[in-house]
């Protein structure tokens, strides 16, 4: 079943059950706590909190999402993309747990001939909070699930919060058993690769006043109403229904891997000793090309902080992974149009805005190629020296020189070092960076006399340090 078909079936299922179909919001919705929209509920947050009155009691959407926190998982697990689409159904003070369970069960196990997704009911597992008898009973009564396939899991997995004050509530996650060849028995608690999480039903009922961790928060009190917020991973369902091994092999993603194979002359899925590493590279390329496309489509341009830096990092990682696969020429002009052709059907703005999107992406690749050209030799020399001396760590001064003279962001140096089996003296690097800032401050004071106004920009830099990697690691909060 194609991704487009899954999407249509999801929306039709809920539209047929009284939900208003709402188009995806931009990835750049204004929310001070979020770099990007990372869940289907984000555009509806004011309704849950009672800050605005929703024009409908029930809604359904397929929301574009970006989760940069998952970047390290991409290509290594079967199920994490930096970009993905979340199918959702929402109830604003209308139906609650029973309705959510009923609608979800009807869709996943419904016959494919009559609009369902056709999953085998015997393969379905769910999780609930240990004390959530209401959810447990709903799964028993409505779905007829036996006790052993309703697994209790703690707050970390079965209580949703935004990572910051806001709405929250217990949740119940739906998993599909992919079969004994993918891991041990024992349900999602035992193995999340064999048991693939496809859908999370959140029973949004409380407002949180403080969140210290996923499972450590203060509840201020009940929300004005009891709500439902669900998120089903479109790509995850597609990978199961298309009989693939992971989300990078589905119809909307794999064509980029196919093109990358042609360009590099390497084979995806080859069994040589490097096979697995190369496969991860192919998947990273396909994922990052797609998320870059979607981000530029929504108006992000590469930059040195915040959203722009995330995009820059995604584009650069895509280009570097093509080089690691052995392809040295400009890669984006070959790959980006392939992704556009697959995504443009659902997101026509990618087609109408194509000239701008291509220009932004290709210019960034050009600039990056120049950076690499200047710095790679220096890096290789440094790495060679370190190896020869028998040490395993690139000194802070080298990382600093690469940054200062050749424009290598520290994360690029870190990644290249890791590939060479080396580490980097990061504290040493940071020390040199802060010394350089001190010198710049002193210079500015000397120039302007004792009444130096080093300016807002300096102040921000001093307060926050160099933003290029900090922004990336800290500006996003995990959802669900």
Q: Choose one: 233-241, 305-313, 449-457, 468-476; the region binding ligand ATP (CB under 6 A).
A: 233-241
Give whichever of 231 and 396 is closer to ligand ATP, judged by the CB atom. 231
| Residue in the block written with tokens 């929209």 | 37
Give whichever of 200 and 252 is closer to Mg ion, judged by the CB atom. 200
Contacted entry of ligand ATP, Mg ion, none for residue 287, CB cut-off 5 to 8 Å set by kind: none
* Residue 480 touching ligand ATP (CB under 6 A): yes
* Residue 206 touching ligand ATP (CB under 6 A): no
Structure tokens belonging to residue 186: 């024992």
Smallest separation (angstroms) from ligand ATP to the CB of 88: 9
Applying CB under 6 A, the site for ligand ATP has a residue count of 18
Nearest to 34 by CA among 26, 42, 25, 22: 42
* Residue 479 touching ligand ATP (CB under 6 A): yes
* Residue 197 touching ligand ATP (CB under 6 A): yes
* Residue 195 touching ligand ATP (CB under 6 A): no
- Measure CA of the first residue to CA of the last residue in the chain; give whole Å: 27
Per DSSP, the residues of 39-51 read STTGGGHHHHTTS
Bridge partner list, 208: 166, 219
Smallest separation (angstroms) from ligand ATP to the CB of 417: 26
Smallest separation (angstroms) from ligand ATP to the CB of 437: 35
Looking only at residues 235 through 294 of this chain, which bind ligand ATP when binding is defined by CB under 6 A? Answer: 235-236
Per DSSP, the residues of 125-181 read EEEE-TT-HHHHHHHHHHH---GGGEEE--HHHHEEE-SSSEEEEEEEEEEEE--GG
Q: Where are the alpha helices (DSSP H) in 298-348?
A: 306-324, 332-343
For strands 124-128 and 150-152, give the pairing.
parallel
Cα 149 to its chain centre, rounded Å, is 28
Give whichever of 61 and 479 is closer to ligand ATP, judged by the CB atom. 479
Smallest separation (angstroms) from ligand ATP to the CB of 260: 20
> What angle is formed at CA 174 by the lines to CA 285 and CA 62, rounded to 5 degrees?
55
Nearest to 201 by CA among 167, 232, 164, 246: 232
Smallest separation (angstroms) from Mg ion to the CB of 234: 14
Looking only at residues 17 through 76 of this chain, which bind ligand ATP when binding is defined by CB under 6 A? Answer: 67, 70
Residue 288 and residue 304: Cα distance in Å, rounded? 18
* Residue 136 touching ligand ATP (CB under 6 A): no
Smallest separation (angstroms) from Mg ion to the CB of 345: 27
* Residue 307 touching ligand ATP (CB under 6 A): no
Binding mask of the shown chain, residues 72 to 111, with x at each position contacting ligand ATP by CB under 6 A: -------xxx--x-x-------------------------
Closest residue to ligand ATP, judged by C-beta, is 233
């Amino acid at each position: 079943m194609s991704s487009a078909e899954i999407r249509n079936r999801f929306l039709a299922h809920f539209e047929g059950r009284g939900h208003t179909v709402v188009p995806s919001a931009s990835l750049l919705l204004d929310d001070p706590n979020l770099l990007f929209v990372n869940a289907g509920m984000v555009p509806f947050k004011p309704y849950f909190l009672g800050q605005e009155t929703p024009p409908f009691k029930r809604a359904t959407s397929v929301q574009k999402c970006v989760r940069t926190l998952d970047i390290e998982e991409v290509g290594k697990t079967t199920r994490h993309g930096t970009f993905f689409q979340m199918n959702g159904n929402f109830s604003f003070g209308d139906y609650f747990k029973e309705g959510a369970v009923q609608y979800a069960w009807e869709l996943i196990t419904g016959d494919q001939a009559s609009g369902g997704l056709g999953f085998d009911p015997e393969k379905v597992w769910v999780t609930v909070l240990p004390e959530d008898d209401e959810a447990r009973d709903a799964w028993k009564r409505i779905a007829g699930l036996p006790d052993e396939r309703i697994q209790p899991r703690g707050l970390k997995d079965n209580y949703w919060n935004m990572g910051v004050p806001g709405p929250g509530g217990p949740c119940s996650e739906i998993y599909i058993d992919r079969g004994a060849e993918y891991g041990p028995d024992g349900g999602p608690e035992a193995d999340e690769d064999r048991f693939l999480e496809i859908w999370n039903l959140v029973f949004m009922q409380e407002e949180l006043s403080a969140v210290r961790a996923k499972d450590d928060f203060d509840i201020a009190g009940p929300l004005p109403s009891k709500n439902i917020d669900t998120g089903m991973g479109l790509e995850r369902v597609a990978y199961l229904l298309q009989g693939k091994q992971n989300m990078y092999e589905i119809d909307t993603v794999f064509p980029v891997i196919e093109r990358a194979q042609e360009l590099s002359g390497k084979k995806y899925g080859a069994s040589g000793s490097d096979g697995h590493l190369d496969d991860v590279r192919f998947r990273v390329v396909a994922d990052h090309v797609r998320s870059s496309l979607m981000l530029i489509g929504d108006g992000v341009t590469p930059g040195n902080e915040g959203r722009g830096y995330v995009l820059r990092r995604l584009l650069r990682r895509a280009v570097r992974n093509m080089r690691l696969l052995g392809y040295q020429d400009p890669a984006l002009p070959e790959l980006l149009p392939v992704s556009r052709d697959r995504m443009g059907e659902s997101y026509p703005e990618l087609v109408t805005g194509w000239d701008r999107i291509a220009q932004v992406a290709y210019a960034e690749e050009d600039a990056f190629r120049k950076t690499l050209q200047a710095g790679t030799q220096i890096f290789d020399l440094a790495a060679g020296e370190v190896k020869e001396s028998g040490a395993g760590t690139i000194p802070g001064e080298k990382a600093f020189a690469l940054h200062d003279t050749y424009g290598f962001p520290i994360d690029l140096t870190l990644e290249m070092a890791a590939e060479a089996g080396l580490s980097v003296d990061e504290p040493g690097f940071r020390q040199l960076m802060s010394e350089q800032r001190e010198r710049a401050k002193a210079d500015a004071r000397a120039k302007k006399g004792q009444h130096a106004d080093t300016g807002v920009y300096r102040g921000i830099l001093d307060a926050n340090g160099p933003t290029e990697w900090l922004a990336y690691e800290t500006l996003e909060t995990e959802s669900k």
